[in-house]
Homo-oligomer: A and B are copies of this chain.
């Protein structure tokens, strides 16, 4: 295959990066966190079956995911956790910190700004922006909120590589343009709008209303699937809110 008999050089890693399926990247991040927990509990090695069970994926899929990053497990034993963690961090680009800027320090923005899970995982929130004069100037977690117009300057100074947008929907595109013009190429968007960006910019959207709607769809589907499932637990209330919608033949 494309895999040379010996690995570890930088260009091998570079070649692999291009070919890791997006879906696998998402799972690798989950494995990484679980491995961290296992390491804390004192485990030294872990088998694909164990790790798969803990993360809720198929063991074969997990092994295939890990094979993309060229990490070598030990047959008959499993994976050495410490080495695997190192390898995963390198592959995911976590071997150096990524400064994050957060724009929009409202309800959601406050929660995000105060969240330790970002900095603790290599994504220090390094800059905060808003337009509200009442917010500009205050400190959150030791970081001062700056005015949006400072985005280009501050992002450049602090080497921001990732932007998070938590403004109201109508403001999001403008903020996004500002970030992009400041050199930010990766954006995590919480506003319920589809951002238009140049092709070289990567946007991921966190859309909670959509998540709920997907769940609601499944609720509806379960309804239509019939009563058999509904009585499994014996006392499902099922909340038959109306008579016209639930038409079951």
A192 to B36, CA, bound (A): 12
CB distance from A73 to the nearest CB of B (A): 21
A29 partner, pick from B18, B206, B210, beta carbons under 8 A: B210
Asked whether any CB of chain B lies closer than 8 Å to the CB of A115, the reply is: yes
CB distance from A199 to the nearest CB of B (A): 9
Q: Which residues of B contact A114 (CB under 8 A)?
A: 107
Asked whether any CB of chain B lies closer than 8 Å to the CB of A10, the reply is: yes
B98 near A219 (CB under 8 angstroms)? yes
A205-249 CB mask vs B (1 if < 8 Å, else 0) is 011111111111111111011000100110111110110011111
A96 near B241 (CB under 8 angstroms)? yes
Q: Which residues of chain A from 86 to 105 have a CB within 8 Å of any chain B CB? A: 91-100
Instruction: Give the interface of A toward B (CB within 8 A).
Output: 10-11, 13-14, 17-18, 20, 22, 25-26, 29-30, 32-34, 54-56, 91-100, 107-108, 110-112, 114-115, 117-118, 121-123, 156, 159, 161-162, 182-183, 185-188, 192, 194, 196, 198, 200, 202, 204, 206-222, 224-225, 229, 232-233, 235-239, 241-242, 245-249
A115 to B210, CA, bound (A): 14
A33 near B192 (CB under 8 angstroms)? yes
Q: Which residues of B contact A241 (CB under 8 A)?
A: 96-97, 156, 159
B221 near A18 (CB under 8 angstroms)? yes
